[in-house]
């Protein structure tokens, strides 16, 4: 057995002439949390649905726990999944909804109370699903995904609708599950959230994988920056000239200059600015975030906002 | 398949659905039985479309289960609605994806659901039989219907026969509902199209030309429930229904097996 939970090779899904997913390639190591990132419509849910045998690929192949996705009956008993938000029967209680899935999957009903406790629904299991808040529905979805005591947990946007405390709880839960050996494959548009918990990342854009690998490798792809401010009227213009003469890219946003350079360049820039009669009031390195890198890679126009 | 059956049964046995359906069916059968017995001497008739079901007919061995058999069409419509709703709601709620992750064999999912819904239909038909026959006995004295022939071996055979016909017709209606649910993926669309077709479209077609009756599936299913008629033999209706149901069930199963689950 390999040490890969998921392997995707040239996986594609085509609707008419449009590729929802085009020749995707990535691997997810066992026992890690892998973030699956991409803007809406980039193919995340399509990929997840193919891995769960809900839709048929147009081409390529995939393996889950070393078993081809053409044989889902062999690996799905070891997979927990929540796809595109929670989906349950409104007229049934939380416990009854979990019973339906436990019976279909052949899992022990004894796990249900413990799972409800785990996701913070211990005292609402007997309430009908239609009375649940969005956050409670998400928690029930996670509890349902954990019913099989899975080796791989696939969660599609699990924090949608949760308040900050709830998001933190889910984040802690995922970390705890990964520490116990479960591979967690989680999609989210909350990039900062994935940056904090994911060791691996797969980034999609318009149906194509534009990055797959360790999170720190993605972060390394972005040049570090230095934020510079000055109280001199032309201070940041002069600082820009100095930095550009030294071969660094610069951008001015409002009253600040962003210099693409390692943190140690800050002291040199300060020294050269001082020698040209300019006082810099702020020289601070900006640590690249996943969000910045992501927006750069996906080509959206939020790079400045993210960079700040 | 049995695991899907067990999961489906959790949904079907909930009191609001099970007791609600039994209450509705009990009320319908009680209404049909009451009309037949209480209007037995009414010149306007006491049966379907002004037909008269006479005291002599009710006193036959088959009279004990006659009102129950007369309700077959209504029971069928109830089954059609329930099968259609239980099938199509998996799409509208998005719960089908959960089911298929837990049981990827789509044929097992279909078979398990069908088995559970058929058991539900069986319980409903048994309850309808109890209400219909119990009320028939209770009203027989008031309607001056002599019930001696109801407690003979012939009556037992006729009752078993009626029950078998009604359960076949009811589950057949349900099968049509399930197929509509799979094809249309919407409870409202599948129920409305099924009910409108059987109650309105087929009635209009038969009214326009009586000979159309032998080509209409709803007519055949009702005819089976009532044990056949002078115009259409029981055997003809059974053959037609089996071929029709097999064809639509195969079509729906192939679609269900191959279609992407994207909602």
Domain ranges of chain B: 2-258
Q: Is B261 on the interface with A (CB under 8 A)?
A: yes
Instruction: Please indicate whether, in this complex, the C-beta atoms of B101 and A79 are within 8 angstroms of each other.
Output: yes
Nearest to B10 among A55, A99, A105 (CB): A99
Nearest to B100 among A54, A89, A99 (CB): A54
What pLDDT does A307 receive? 35
Mean pLDDT estimate for chain A: 85
3-state class (DSSP) for residue A189: coil
Condensed to tens digits (0 to 9), the pLDDT of residues B135-168 reads 999 988 887 888 888 888 888 988 898 899 999 9
Nearest to B260 among A56, A100, A106 (CB): A56
Among candidates B36, B65, B61, which has minimal Cα distance to B146? B61
In chain B, the residue whose alpha carbon lies closest to the alpha carbon of A96 is B10
Nearest to A72 among B3, B11, B104 (CB): B104
Q: Which residues of B touch A79 (CB under 8 A)?
A: 101
Main-chain dihedrals φ then ψ at residue A63, nearest 5 degrees: -135, 140
Condensed to tens digits (0 to 9), the pLDDT of residues A47-58 reads 999 999 999 999
Report the pLDDT averaged over residues B54-63: 84
Q: Which residues of A touch B11 (CB under 8 A)?
A: 89, 92, 96, 100
pTM here is: 0.82
Distance from CA of B84 to the nearest CA of A (A): 16
Distance of CA A140 to the CA centre of its chain: 21
Distance from CA of A126 to the nearest CA of B (A): 13
Would you say residue A218 has pLDDT above 80?
A: no
Instruction: Please indicate whether, in this complex, the C-beta atoms of A90 and B105 are within 8 angstroms of each other.
Output: no
Among candidates A175, A101, A104, A168, which has minimal Cα distance to A140? A101
Question: What DSSP state is assigned to residue A130?
Answer: G
Distance of CA B254 to the CA centre of its chain: 25
User: Cβ neighbours of residue A209 under 8 Å, at least 6 residues apart?
Assistant: A24, A25, A26, A202, A203
Instruction: Please indicate whether, in this complex, the C-beta atoms of B11 and A99 are within 8 angstroms of each other.
Output: no
Instruction: Please indicate whether, in this complex, the C-beta atoms of B95 and A88 are within 8 angstroms of each other.
Output: yes
In chain A, the residue whose alpha carbon lies closest to the alpha carbon of B100 is A54
Main-chain dihedrals φ then ψ at residue B110, nearest 5 degrees: -65, -45
In chain B, the residue whose alpha carbon lies closest to the alpha carbon of A148 is B102
pLDDT band at A215 (very low <50, low <70, confident <90, very high): confident
What pLDDT does A290 receive? 63
Q: Which residues of B touch A99 (CB under 8 A)?
A: 7, 10
Would you say residue B84 has pLDDT above 90?
A: yes
Distance from CA of B89 to the nearest CA of A (A): 9
Would you say residue A161 has pLDDT above 60?
A: yes
B119 is written with which tokens?
């058991």
Q: How far apart are CA B87 and CA B110, in angstroms?
A: 9
Instruction: Please indicate whether, in this complex, the C-beta atoms of B104 and A73 are within 8 angstroms of each other.
Output: yes
Would you say residue A287 has pLDDT above 80?
A: no
Q: How far apart are CA B14 and CA B21, in angstroms?
A: 11
In chain A, the residue whose alpha carbon lies closest to the alpha carbon of B113 is A104
Mean pLDDT estimate for chain B: 89
* ipTM over 0.95 threshold: no
What pLDDT does A79 receive? 93
Distance set, CA A242 to CA A1, A248, A250, A255 (Å): 56, 9, 10, 17
């Amino acid at each position: 057995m390999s040490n890969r939970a998921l392997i995707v090779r040239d996986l594609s899904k085509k609707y008419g002439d449009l590729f929802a997913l085009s020749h995707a390639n990535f691997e997810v190591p066992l026992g890690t949390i892998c973030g699956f990132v991409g803007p809406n419509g980039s193919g995340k849910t399509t990929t997840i649905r193919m891995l769960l045998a809900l839709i048929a690929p147009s081409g390529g192949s995939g393996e889950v726990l070393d078993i081809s996705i053409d044989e889902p009956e062999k690996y799905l008993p070891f997979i927990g999944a929540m796809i595109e938000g929670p989906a349950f029967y409104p007229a049934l209680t939380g416990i009854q909804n979990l019973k339906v899935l436990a019976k279909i999957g052949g899992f022990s009903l004894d796990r249900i109370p413990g799972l409800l406790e785990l996701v913070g629904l211990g005292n609402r299991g007997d309430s009908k699903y239609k009375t649940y808040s969005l956050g409670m529905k998400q928690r029930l979805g996670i509890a349902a995904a954990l019913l099989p005591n899975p080796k791989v947990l696939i969660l599609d946007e699990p924090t949608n609708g949760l308040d900050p405390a709830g998001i933190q709880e889910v984040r802690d839960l995922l970390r705890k599950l990964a520490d116990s050996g479960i591979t967690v494959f989680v999609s989210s548009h909350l990039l900062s959230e994935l940056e904090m918990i994911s060791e691996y990342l797969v980034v999609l854009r318009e149906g194509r994988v534009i990055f797959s690998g360790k999170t720190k490798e993605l972060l390394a792809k972005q040049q570090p920056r230095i934020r510079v401010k000055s109280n001199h009227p032309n201070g940041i213009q002069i600082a820009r000239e100095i930095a550009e003469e030294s071969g660094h890219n610069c951008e001015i946003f409002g009253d600040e200059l962003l210099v693409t350079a390692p943190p140690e360049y800050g002291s040199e820039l300060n020294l050269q600015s001082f020698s040209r009669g300019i006082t810099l009031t702020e020289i601070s390195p900006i640590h690249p975030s996943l969000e910045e890198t992501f927006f750069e890679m996906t080509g959206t126009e939020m790079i400045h906002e993210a960079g700040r | 398949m049995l695991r899907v059956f067990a999961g489906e049964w959790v949904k079907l046995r909930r009191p609001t659905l099970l007791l609600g359906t039994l209450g509705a069916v009990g009320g319908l059968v009680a209404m049909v039985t009451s009309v037949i017995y209480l209007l037995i001497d009414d010149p306007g008739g006491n049966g379907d479309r002004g037909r008269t079901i006479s005291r002599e007919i009710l006193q036959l061995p088959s009279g004990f289960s006659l009102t129950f058999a007369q309700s077959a069409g209504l029971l069928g419509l109830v089954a059609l609605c329930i099968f259609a709703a239980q099938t199509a709601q998996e799409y509208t709620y998005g719960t089908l994806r959960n089911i298929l992750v837990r049981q990827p064999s789509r044929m097992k999912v279909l078979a398990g659901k069908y088995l559970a819904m058929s058991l539900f239909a069986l319980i409903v038909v048994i309850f309808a039989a109890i209400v219909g026959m119990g009320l028939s006995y209770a009203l027989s004295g008031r309607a001056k219907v002599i019930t001696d022939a109801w407690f003979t071996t012939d009556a037992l055979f006729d009752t078993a026969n009626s029950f078998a016909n009604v359960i076949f017709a009811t589950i057949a209606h349900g099968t049509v509902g399930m197929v509509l649910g799979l094809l249309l993926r919407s409870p409202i669309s599948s129920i409305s199209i099924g009910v409108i077709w059987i109650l309105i479209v087929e009635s209009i077609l038969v009214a326009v030309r009586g000979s159309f009756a032998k080509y209409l599936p709803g007519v055949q299913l009702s005819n089976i429930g009532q044990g056949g008629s002078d115009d259409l033999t029981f055997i003809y209706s059974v053959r037609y229904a089996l071929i029709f149901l097999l064809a639509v069930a195969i079509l729906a199963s192939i679609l269900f097996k191959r279609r992407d689950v994207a909602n």
